[in-house]
Every structure is written in C-alpha cells, then in structure tokens.
Amino acid sequence: MASPLTLEILQTLIGFDTTSVRSNLALMDYIKGYLTEHGVESALIYDETEQKANLYATIGPVNRPGVMLSGHTDTVPVTGQQWTHEPYRLTVAQERGYGRGTADMKGFLAVVLAAVPDMVSASLHTPIHLAFSYDEEIGCVGVRRLIDNLTLLPVKPALCIIGEPTEMKVVTAHKGKLAARVTVRGKECHSGMAPYGVNAVNYAARLVCWLEQLALWKRNQGPFEEGYDIPYSTVHTGTIDGGTALNIVPNHCRFLFEIRNIAADDPHRLLAEFRDHADTLMTEMRRTSPDCAIDIEITSEYPGLSTANDAEVVAFVRHLTEAKGTHTIGFGTEGGLFSRILGVPTVVCGPGSMAQGHKPDEFIEISQLELGERFIARLLEQLSIPAGE
C-alpha cells in the first residue's frame, strides 16, 4: 500500500481544480506552504497575469548541479465526460485511486512531496531540484518562463526526470508537436448566385484534404523512426467551423490542425509547404474578390525528446527503476524544452499510465504509487552520503 502521507497529499492535490483555463495559485500556495513547513525555500515564477505560476526549489547543497524532478500541475477538463466518481476528490477503490489528475500527473507530485521530509533529513551530496509548472496541457506553455529563469542560475541541474505516467518505465524519446489555426476569409452572397461568391468552407476543405494527403504520404513514405508504435510523423485536423446558413455562401471558415513529428522531420518545413499551397489557393480566391485571405497562425509548439539510450542520465535512472530497457511514448512532455533549450539531459519516468489519463474516472494503480515511492527512496540513497562518512 502507498504511504498514508502520499495518499493524503494526493487527496489534497486532486481537490484543487487546476484545469488549464483556471489559476493554479491555490495549489502552488499549498505546495509552497508545505515546503516551508519542512524548511525548504521555494520560488514562484508567475505568468504575465500573475494568476498562474511555476515553482522551483532546491533541497541539499545549492552550489552543485543536481537531479531535477519535474511535473506539471494543470489538468485537462472534465466537461462532457461521464464520471462515476467525484473528479475532484480522491476515491480509493479496488486498489486504484480515482480522480482528475491522479495519473496525469498529480500522483507523481504526491510521491515527490511525500518524500520531502526524508529529502530534508538526508545528508545529500547532490541536491534535488523540484520544478513544477503550469499550462503543460495546452502546449507546454508555462515551463518556458521557468526555463528562462533557470538559464540565469550559476549552476544548472545535472539531469531531469519528468514524472509523466510511464508505468515507471524509462522513456528516452517522444515526438515534437506544432499546432496551427487556419482562418479562411471568402466572400458571401446568396447561394443561388454561388459562382459570384468565394466559398470559405470549400477552400478550407481543400486545405484539409491537402493535409490529409500529407498524412498519407508520411504513413507510406516516411521517414520512419523505430521504437514508436506509429513510426512516422502524423498530421491531424481536429476542429472545423464555418458558415452561417445553408442559403448563404460562407465568408468564413476556421480549423485547427497539428503535426506530431519524429526527429527526422522538420515541422516548420512541412508548414512552409502547406503555406505555399495556401498561397496558391488565395491567389485563386482573389480573382473573384481581393479581400479574400487565408491566415495561418501557430498556436503552440514544442520540440520532441530524443535522448541517446547510452546517455549517462539513462543509465542513472534505469538503475533506480525495476523496469528494463528504454521506451518511447506517443504523447508530448516538457522534456524537449529542458533538453534543447536548457541543455539538461532528460528522461521521462513516472507512476501510472496515460491509458488512464484524460478520461472519465481517471485513476492510478496504488501499486504504481508504491513503485514511485521506491524509486524516490533509491534516488535518495544514491544522492546521500553513506552513514559514518
């Protein structure tokens, strides 16, 4: 059974509704107060509205690079989902802990925070850094401010472990992501005189079809990267909206799409090809009306993670786990930002499974919390000065 303190902290964390559209300050104030009670100083790095914040703390010697334990505090919404358990209250049943964020990823945060008393009492020769972020779920937005601050520190972390749910398997790679919004502006008129208008929905459909052909090309022609269940870059249109009435040629249409790319693909090159196609269509539209346009705006992006399997960080973390080998995952994390921008070697390894995340009745197996606790205990042993020395 997971420790009572881990479950108590998880209960508290789940009680905060930190859906990305909401503030996370109440949760961060709780964590900051908890750390203060144990003599740990921490800093909050706010967003421009001061309604959200990252948190950073160091336990142990501050003049040495240490091990950074990283996780996000925001969750996806429960709107429209059919829950049989209260989403913002931890329910323990059938060896599972139910609640929004149990798997993704407040379970990891609870495990780490429950170990803080042991971290404080240990004689650490290498520090442990805690890095908790906001707005990961909407494109790894908040952590960028944290990284900006970390680049100014005289000593950066030596390595980073992101506790996203991997069933405590060591993950060394995931794809990058680029998301964009496309807005098509046509010319409205009565549908009985459709040739005199410019149908924004039709042109949006042609753009979506181009993206679908790109997706099929990637599936059939690659490039490919071994290790992934889907070993090629994917292209996906998620939402589309346009028009006002059937008897009006629509003058507007908007859709969102994303590219999830393997390391061998440059998403900006693919986006440039898409822009070229859009420019061709826009020229065609403007033959009827010069006011027509196609606007393409990047809404979010983050790089993929690609840590070499023989890197020191991989050997170090594998030594702490009960899992064998290395793995890839199909979802994104903040790992690519820590690795590429901050230059800190990074792996992903945490309790729970994303198969349970983002769903109604999200849960984490209690046994996964126990594995997480053992992982942190081994980490403390590895970073502590042996008794008597």
Q: Does a cis peptide bond (omega within 30 degrees of 0) precede residue 77?
A: no
- Alpha-carbon span 248 to 262, nearest angstrom: 42
Candidate list 104, 136, 167, 301, residue with the active-site label: 136
Candidate list 17, 74, 362, 365, residue with the active-site label: 74
- Alpha-carbon span 338 to 334, nearest angstrom: 7
- Alpha-carbon span 58 to 157, nearest angstrom: 10
DSSP state of 306: E
Q: Which residues pair with 19 in a beta bridge?
A: 75
How buried is 262 (Cβ within 10 angstroms: 0-12 exposed, 13-18 middle, 19+ buried)? buried
Q: Is 74 considered catalytic here? A: yes
Q: Is 265 considered catalytic here? A: no
Distances (CA, A) of 214 to 207, 228, 232, 378: 11, 19, 12, 46
Catalytic positions, written as ranges: 74, 136
